[in-house]
Chain A
Amino acid sequence: MRLNERYLNAVMIVGLLALPLWAVVADQPFTITLVTRAVILALAAVGLNIILGIGGMVSFGHAVFFGIGGYAMGILAYHAQTYTALDLGLFSMDGTKSMPMIWLVAMILSAIVAVFIGLLSLRTSGVYFIMITLAFGQMFFYFAISWAQYGGEDGLSIYVRNDFPGLNTLAPIQFYTICFTLLCVVLFLFARLQASPFGLALNAARQTSVRVETVGLNPMQLKLLAFVISGAITGLAGALFADLNRFVSPTMFSWQLSGELIVLIIIGGVGRLMGPVIGACVFVALEHFLGELTDFWHVYLGLVLLCIVLFGRGGLTGLLTGKEGAHV
């Protein structure tokens, strides 16, 4: 069976529209929450897919950006709900419950941190790059645990979901609509980026950086910018994830989460537009349905991953369309 990748992509988008609508009709709000979770994880993984799939950088610390997004939301909303000022040393500001504002802060903070992490980690490659990004992830994780002002190990609870103009974000389907729309926007951006000159050069830098240098381009600069864009998108997903759970905790910075994002992409298809989306749906479905049956559902996730790595280098997208994925 050889499926055109466009059809597969369309099926995924239509499915992600139809399932929640069905859930509304059937009055299954938990299903909507589940799909929202998948969509947000997909969004985070699309961010990672830019550097992993196109640029070939295996970041084992992308939870850093997920966590920054989460804490950006948590801290801003915490100050808004307690009517306290957020003291930033030189000046202080009020918290906010506005989602667009929170997203903006989450993305900008993630981008700034990505510049620093990128500048240091991109000097290395291969296993050293993996280890450096992991080390940054652990630094942020332990920092969050010891950050008593914002809940330390227990995290921060936000009682009411943040606001989006014109929508009732507490209604699951309306919050889902926000997340789904953002996913579609980011997928569109990913597709444009991948085909653009920048995407082509980044893809070339993954395959042979000597070639890129020889035509007069700087692979480091290309990779750094990709890393920053990637971090900002994953940061946005983190803010949404915190809003979904109305809770932020250091686990958003955990290395397990970094690993899961990589696993999602490998299951779905490295460097493929819908790879992260397919991976996230499979992941959340396994987590939910197998998780009900057994606490050891990760064993089955591992088996799925094993089969995919052994038999289909292109992930599920590759198996369905018969095209191999990017080699990282």
Chain B
Amino acid sequence: MSDPVLATLNLNKSFGALKATDDVSIDLKPGEIHAIIGPNGAGKSTLIQQICGGLRPDSGRVMLRGQDVSGFSTQARARAGLGRTFQISQLCMEDSVLENAVLGAMGAEHMAWRFWRPALKRSALRERAEAALERVGLTENRDTRCANLSHGQRRQLEVAVALTLSPKAFVMDEPMAGLGAEGSKRLTGFLDGLRQEAPILLVEHDMDAVFALADRISVLVYGKVIATGTADEIRSSREVRDAYLGDEA
């Protein structure tokens, strides 16, 4: 069995009396999509934040490629190879699509501390940014101001910025959120191919997408992982059905 790219070891996080993360140990193996599902308030976002550095866990560790990154800041984790997309798009709305992608390229190429030549005229940055935009199909919109993009296009740009980082692992927080059936289907196809490049930890509410994509699924309820397994195992688990899936599956 290959070593996990990303893993959490016994993570715990409480807010007062509320246990938001309860002894969570999950891992992400090379080439797989591992989906985290669970009802609203199950602690999915809290878990993601602890993995990406926005929140400190009370105890437990986060391992990235065998390295303990628990003490790392968000930006150090990004530099160590974590590529994240947000549930609510975090983009520079006043900037163009290309500028947003170039920002990612600057992070990847360690080129933020350059003061003279314009960012958009640097071929290293442009090539990386344009390659990412091309892959998500935003090449034609590269000069559009981000604020003028449709919701779906913003979701695509979110993914493109993560791609510019050439991360070792993706952490995607509801990438399908707000996409129509068509957009959701297209993104599902895209993520399906992406797992070969870097494994994806996927938090998603769109069950069609989850069951179509995930190699493994973990079910989070009240901060606790109640089950981990393949799509079929999860679908047939009585416990999961009681807690979450209901009649849906």
Please report A residues at the B interface, Cβ cutoff 8 Å.
192-193, 195-201, 203-204, 207-208, 210-218, 222, 326-327
A217 to B104 alpha-carbon distance, docked (Å):
9
Of B54, B73, B116, B122, most buried by chain A (CB within 10 Å of CB) is B116
When each residue 94-127 of chain B gets 1 if its CB lies under 8 Å from chain A and 0 otherwise, what string results? Answer: 1100010011101110011111111110100100
Q: CB within 8 A of B95: which of A193, A198, A204?
A: A204
Asked whether B92 is an interface residue with its Cβ less than 8 Å from the other chain, the reply is yes
Contact A208–B115 (Cβ < 8 Å): no
> From A325, which residue of chain B is reached at the shortest CB distance?
B94
* Residue numbers in A under 8 Å from B86 (CB-CB): 210, 214
* With A200-B95, A218-B75 already in contact, 15 other A-B pairs whose C-beta atoms are closer than 8 Å: A193-B115, A196-B117, A196-B118, A197-B102, A200-B103, A200-B119, A201-B106, A203-B95, A208-B92, A210-B54, A211-B161, A214-B84, A215-B106, A215-B165, A216-B79
Partner of A196, one of B74, B78, B119: B119
Task: Name the distance in Å between A195's Cβ and chain B's nearest Cβ.
Answer: 4
- B84, A198: Cβ atoms under 8 Å? no
Shortest CB-to-CB span from A317 to chain B, Å, is 15
A112 CB to nearest chain B CB (Å): 20
Taken together as a complex, chains A and B put the C-alpha atoms of A199 and B112 apart, in Å, by: 9
Residues of B within 8 A of A (CB): 52-54, 73-76, 78-79, 84, 86, 90-95, 99, 102-104, 106-108, 111-120, 122, 125, 161, 164-165
Cross-chain contact A208 with B108 (CB below 8 angstroms): no
Total A-B residue contacts, Cβ distance less than 8 Å: 101
- The reply to whether A207 and B95 contact each other, CB–CB distance below 8 Å, is yes
From known contacts A204-B95, A215-B165, infer whether A195 and B103 are also in contact, taking CB-CB under 8 Å. no
B122 cross-chain contacts in A, Cβ below 8 A: 197
List the A side residues contacting B73 at CB < 8 Å. Answer: 213, 218
Closest to B113 in A: A198
- A327 touching B94 in the complex, CB below 8 Å, given contacts A215-B161, A216-B79, A216-B108: yes
CA distance in complex: A222, B106 (Å): 13
- CB–CB B90/A214 < 8 A: yes
User: Which residue of chain B has the shortest Cβ distance to A189 in the bound complex?
Assistant: B115
Alpha-carbon distance between A327 and B95 when the two chains are bound, in angstroms: 12
Assess the A197–B106 pair: CB atoms within 8 A: yes
A201 to B52, CA, bound (A): 20
Beyond A197-B119, A199-B119, is A212–B114 a contact (Cβ under 8 Å)?
Answer: no
Instruction: Look across to chain A and name the residue whose beta carbon is closest to the beta carbon of B120.
Output: A195
**Chain A minimum-CB-distance residue to B162:** A214
CB <8 Å contact, B103 and A215: yes
How far, in angstroms, from A199 to B67 measured CA to CA in the complex?
Answer: 33
Q: A195-B119, A200-B102 are in contact. Are A214 and B74 (CB under 8 A)?
A: yes
* Complex: chain A residue closest to B91, CB-CB: A211
Contact A198 B114 (CB under 8 A): yes
Contact present for B103 and A212 (CB under 8 Å): yes
Q: Which of B52, B99, B108 contacts A215 (CB 8 A)?
A: B108
A203 contact set on B, CB distance < 8 A: 92, 94-95
Distance A197 CA – B103 CA, assembled complex (angstroms): 8
B contact residues around A326 at 8 Å (CB): 94
- In angstroms, Cα B116 to Cα A199, docked, is 10
B99 CB contacts on chain A under 8 angstroms = 200
Q: List 19 A-B contacts (CB under 8 A).
A: A192-B116, A196-B114, A199-B115, A200-B102, A201-B112, A203-B95, A204-B103, A207-B94, A208-B90, A211-B103, A212-B75, A213-B74, A213-B75, A214-B74, A215-B104, A216-B76, A216-B107, A217-B112, A326-B94
Known A-B contacts A215-B103, A216-B107; the reply to A222 vs B112 at CB < 8 A is yes
Q: Is the CB of A198 within 8 A of B78?
A: no
Residues of B within 8 A of A211 (CB): 90-92, 103, 161
Specify the chain A residue showing the minimal Cβ separation from B99.
A200
Candidates A195, A204, A214; contact of B118 at CB < 8 Å: A195
Task: List the A side residues contacting B111 at CB < 8 Å.
Answer: 197
